[in-house]
Chains A and B, each alone.
Chain A
Amino acid sequence: MTTPSHLLFGLPLLSLLIFSPLAAAAVALLIGREQLLRGWTLVSTTLIAGISLPLWWRFDSSTAAFQFREHVSWISFLKIDYSLGVDGISLLMVLLTTLILPLCVLASWTYIKVRIKEFMVCLLVMESAMIGVFCARDAILFFVFWEAMLIPMAVLIGVWGGPRRLYASLKFFIYTMAGSVFLLVALIALRIKTGSFSLEGMVGQHFSPGFQGWVFAAFFLSFAIKVPMFPFHTWLPAAHVEAPTAGSVILASVLLKMGTYGFLRFCLPITPQATIAFAPWMLGLSVIAILYGGMTALAQNDLKKLVAYSSVGHMGFATLGIFALNPQGLEGAVLVMVNHGVTTGALFICVGILYERLHTRELGAVAGVGKTMPIFTGFFGVFCFSSLAFPGTNSFIGEFLVLAGSFAHSKALTVCVVPGVVLAAAYMLRVLQRVSFGGTDNPDHSGLADLNLREIVTLTPLLVAVLWIGLHPQPLVQVLHATVHQLLQQVGPALSAAVALAP
């Protein structure tokens, strides 16, 4: 089988994807009228989503090799290259990013009322950087995109956020910046050992266990903050609560995936021995995150905080699957990443819709809107069920595979996770009950408008994704298969060595 063409209309596909949002942002700077700005951003993000689809069609899932490769020397005296490529995991992440962005624009249509131009430019710059992160095959290029996400996101929260936006924005900035420093240190250490910044060159190098340990620790700090893993999660609820809807959606759907993506892309292949040595700790933190996220979510009365803490639990499932270090766990983890993007994104959009109408996110104040907003409640119900991993929805299959991988790794550990699964059902059903029925003392919601066409258009693709992945996940798993297999082979020798050493 020949490698798929990396060109579209004679242009390199990945570069086209990375730079067209920037070009769209440049055009947006010249547009004055608000409605035109919104329309332009919507059209351009939709077009970019369309451009990303050939990645899916042309992707050859029979090989683990990186595809759609582009390679140009960039800063030659430091041996930094402009090197791009995608494998199964990055493919899904890129598609998730490009497909969710038009929905972010739609969700901000009336939500954002001031500085619309700046807002749209921020969104588009974010998109460039996020796609770049998932495609970069050079460590410095990766780092550049990684840092490029930081400022627009902090601005999104700090300018268009809620009352405590500056606090949240600063906290987000400090946490992630601190993590980035460790990432940079680790990358430079690897450059000194291998002589280049190429990610290919860093894999399979058999570094000394001590060196691996330090590099892993640095990676861990950076990625664990981004996931966020317990106990580095405290920036997340603050950021989510203050961010505008689109900010929350991007944060939940894409930005959180950067952490787990980093684990998969850097820790497992580059520091396999350290990965195995630290895996029990990682698994322990994952279980704590699942339980802690669930319990905290159950206690929340602010809808956004609740969804934010549920994210901590869901991402705990992703890291649990990754560090179970078996095919089912890893495939499940990537599915959880995709599913969390779809479902939590949708839930944040739903919360935004409620907030626009009622100007509150308090569970007591939104109680019983089901009577006046039946269409909304229908959508919201499906997303709630998806979030609690109801069979037949997208999250179920991811959670099932993660649990299967985790059972294969350790039965005792998995039994500890089970209360987290129950908690997820408890807090999601509680929310759904409050929103659809409420109690006997519901506030008066008469006169509340149900969803308009724009909102239905925003939520429908997510609904389709929930059911499509839930009932037909095989294409997604197939895309991952070769990549996950190779990833485990890269960890494999160390894995068998660890087994041999075990008493």
Chain B
Amino acid sequence: MKDTLPDLRLLLAVLAPLAGAGLVMATGRRPNLRESCSLLAALTLFGITASLVPDVLAGKTLRYTLFELLPGLSFALRADPLSMMFALAASFLWILTVFYAAGYMRSLEEHGQTRFNTCFALAIFGAIGCAFSDNLLTLYLFYEIVSVTTYPLVAHHQDAEGYEGARKYITYLTTTAKGLILPAMVLIYVLSGTLDFATSVHPGILPSGVHNGVIAALYVCCILGFAKNGIMPLHHWLPGAMVAPTPVSALLHAVAVVKVGVFSTVRVMLHVFGVDLMARLNLGIPTAYFVSITILGASIIALSKDNLKTRLAYSTVSQLSYIILGVALLTPTGIEGGLVHIANHAFSKITLFFCAGAIYVASHKKNISEMKGLGRAMPWTFGAFAIAALSMIGAPPVAGFVTKLYLLIGALDAGAVGILVVLVASTLLNAAYFVPVVYHGFFGQPSEQDAHHPPHEAPLAMLIPLCLTAALSVALGLYPDFFLQFAQAVVK
């Protein structure tokens, strides 16, 4: 029996970014003070989250109830191994993004930086709330908070393209949440009288005796309803959201927002339906094949995109489904591989976006075909990009290799040979769309103009974070135990 302790730190963790948003708004007229407030909030959040690690690893489940609405219906927080993986990755990367964003926004002299930083902190507030949700209702609350607080970030440029991208963004995300998750949640409440997540991955919370068809319908609603997970065909919002400034694409649309979607999906698969029920109804392997369409389809689309951020966005769509695929295999190794990719993908993909932003600030180039020879002028940036790309491809010793290894073993354990083929094909595709970027960067012939006026590296505020995340991607490949121990604790 695991200990359950009411823990005030959970409340403080969720309040830190919220308070940060308030401070940012209040100090908007003094940019340095404003950015310091963001940094302070990020450091506080990470500090609190890190302080939870020993207790969670000791097998405790920490809880804190915010508001009791009705019996079985409350806003409540919990910290368990699954929440820690997401919370640690998101809160740590926020610290680096604060520096990066300051460098990016100031270099480009963007307007509305106070609104930008406020909404950024609010989006992190939503993401951390999702990570620490103790029940489906709380998860839904914070999921929706993330949707609405990121709207102003996507629409940031306030031009026709920005509004169009943001319109698509909010339409996809709220329609699926209201149309699929809300009814599914109400029905789960009617059926089981509670929305609290189970404490282990096996039992789920649905009572026996519910018709199999109803369970299957609920399951489909939950897989498609959390559309932030980018499963095709409900992925269009993500490429559309690339109109946002690059720090948003980096932290939110590679880490916080999309991981909220994947995290919610995984949370519901493991702690609402449960491994036992999914295995009994044979929901796992069909899900794995269903998301395989996304893994391969998004990679093929990525091949055709010349805009670097769009290519990265499709790569994200593809990689997110790795996580769901791993969990859907329903074998311990598969689940561990899927879960650890939440962190591995976060560190590598944020590096790639950081690099894309750095290239844009330094050279105002967005398209891959224009970046020939740029690597020689910006060796640090392109070097980091190469390392992170290796991680996406799944080459050792970078983080993505660990994921791929676990997924392959998981697929073998589950006896799903088709999944092996998918993973191999996906690796080849990943290589096909990442290698040319690096190759052209270092070995391509620069254009006339670039040859005469070669661009310089981006400001240090941007360069240092992206080198750090690249280094950490390698570190996570060499010492994968840090996040793996949480993944193993989830499955235990």
Contact = CB atoms under 8 A, between A and B. Distances in A.
A and B from one assembly? yes
Interface of A: 385, 390-392, 397, 400-401, 403-404, 407-408, 411, 414-415, 418-419, 421-422, 424-426, 429, 433, 437, 439-440, 471-474, 477
Nearest to B176: A422
Contact of A391 (B137, B151, B190): B137
A80 B158 CA distance: 66
Nearest to A392: B141
Contacts of A397: 69-70
Interface residues of B, number: 32
Nearest to A439: B163
Interface stretch (B180-188, B258-266, B440-448): B180-188
18 contacts: A391-B137, A391-B141, A392-B75, A400-B189, A404-B189, A404-B190, A411-B187, A421-B183, A422-B174, A422-B178, A425-B174, A426-B175, A437-B155, A440-B160, A440-B163, A471-B67, A472-B67, A474-B69
Contacts of B171: 426
A14 to B, nearest CB: 30
A426 B158 CA distance: 20
B144 interface: yes
A391 B144 contact: yes
Listed residue (A391, A400, A422) with the most chain B CB atoms within 10 angstroms of its CB: A391
Given A422-B174, A471-B75, 7 more contacts: A385-B148, A403-B183, A408-B190, A421-B179, A426-B174, A440-B160, A473-B70
A404 B170 contact: no
A319 B144 CA distance: 27
Contact of A440 (B75, B159, B190): B159
Interface of B is mostly: helix
B3 interface: no
Complex A-B, nearest 10 residue pairs according to Cβ-Cβ distance, in ascending order = A391-B141, A403-B186, A471-B67, A422-B179, A407-B190, A422-B178, A425-B174, A425-B178, A418-B183, A404-B190
B109 interface: no
B207 to A, nearest CB: 15
A440 B161 CA distance: 10
A426 B214 CA distance: 27
Nearest to A408: B190
Contacts of B141: 391-392
Interface in B165-215: 167, 170-171, 174-175, 178-179, 182-183, 186-187, 189-190, 214
Nearest to B182: A421
Contacts of B189: 400, 404
B67 A404 contact: no
Contacts of B151: 433
A480 B158 CA distance: 47
B140 interface: yes
A474 B182 contact: no
A419 B179 contact: yes
Contacts of B170: 429, 433
Contacts of B175: 422, 425-426
A391 B70 contact: no
Contacts of A419: 179
A411 B163 CA distance: 37
Nearest to B175: A422
B326 to A, nearest CB: 29
Contact of A477 (B67, B70, B167): B70
B163 A437 contact: yes
